[in-house]
Amino acid sequence: MADSDVAPRRADRLRQLVSRDRCALLILEMQRGVVGPGSGLPELAAAGAQVGLIEHVATVAHAARRRGVSVLHCTAETLPGGFGRSHNARLFAAALKAGMDNAPGSDEVQPVQAIGPEAGDIVFPRYHGLSPLNGSGLDQILRNSGITTVVVVGVSLNVAIPNLVFDAVNLSYQVVVVSDAVVGVPLEYGAQVLENTLSLVATLVTSDELVQTWESA
């Protein structure tokens, strides 16, 4: 295939993947207690600030709403009294030690203000595990809505983003990851995850490329 054919074919493929009648934007854990000023994970919040994560996610979310694409804020929350809280990984213990209660309705679980939620957005909490697609009913809700592609943004490339991508692929969704609207710690590691792992199972795009695709459709 000639090099001159690659870009148009990629653009056509992306346009099909993210058409508004078949895709949804999943914003993962872009909540105040994770990436906001009072984050219980300050290194992750600092990494996000360094690369303009909140701004890029906000740009994608605004473009999705303009295009009529469903926007879902997938938050990590804990039931009252810690009922059902996961305890089977160091990550959960570290979050608990950092005082991340993530109680429903608390400031910690609210999406950062620049991102939403706005009218028409859906806030979809999970109460256990590492992925919003695992045992939450989200898969069935997406399928009922005719969704075949999920566009993924948020945090982090260390654990939750790969988990979500793998879950989505295993459930037969097409996955688009917005490469400048996700982050990991350290930044170099996050870039390696994108290049050496997620690129094998998902379509990687920049926020500018995705916004341009939606605006030109």
Give the three-class secondary structure for 184. coil
Confidence at residue 3, expressed as pLDDT on a 0 to 100 scale: 57
pLDDT in tens, 29-47: 999 999 998 898 999 999 9
Confidence at residue 89, expressed as pLDDT on a 0 to 100 scale: 67
Judged by phi (left if over 0) then psi (alpha if -120 to 50, else beta), residue 13 lies in alpha
Mean pLDDT computed over 207-213: 97
| In contact, 18 and 149? CB cutoff 8 Å | yes
Give the three-class secondary structure for 23. strand
Confidence at residue 38, expressed as pLDDT on a 0 to 100 scale: 84
Q: Residue 111 carries which DSSP code?
A: B
Q: Please give the structure tokens belonging to residue 128.
A: 């256990």
pLDDT in tens, 8-18: 888 899 999 99
Confidence at residue 132, expressed as pLDDT on a 0 to 100 scale: 94
Q: Please give the structure tokens belonging to residue 19.
A: 């058409």
| pLDDT value at 171 more than 90 | yes
Q: Are strands 122-126 and 70-76 parallel, antiparallel or unpaired?
A: parallel
Confidence at residue 115, expressed as pLDDT on a 0 to 100 scale: 97
| pLDDT value at 6 more than 80 | no
Sole residue written with tokens 């959960």: 92
**Mean pLDDT of all residues belonging to the chain:** 92
Give the total residue count for the chain.
217
Residues in Cβ contact with 87 at an 8 Å cutoff, skipping those fewer than 6 apart: 93
User: What does the alpha-carbon distance between residue 203 and residue 17 come to, in Å, rounded to a whole number?
Assistant: 9
Spatial CA neighbour of 90 closest among 127, 125, 130, 126: 130
Domains and CATH numbers, the chain: 20-76+111-216 (3.40.50.850)
Percent of the chain with pLDDT over 70: 93
Beta-bridge partner residues of 24: 70, 150
Residues in Cβ contact with 25 at an 8 Å cutoff, skipping those fewer than 6 apart: 60, 61, 64, 69, 70, 71, 72, 150, 151, 153
Sole residue written with tokens 């934007």: 25
pLDDT in tens, 87-125: 776 776 667 766 667 788 899 999 999 999 999 999 999
The band of 85, judged by pLDDT with boundaries at 50, 70 and 90, is confident
The band of 77, judged by pLDDT with boundaries at 50, 70 and 90, is confident
pLDDT in tens, 57-71: 999 999 999 999 999
CB atoms within 10 A of CB 171: 14
Q: Please give the structure tokens belonging to residue 142.
A: 């997406």
| pLDDT value at 2 more than 60 | no
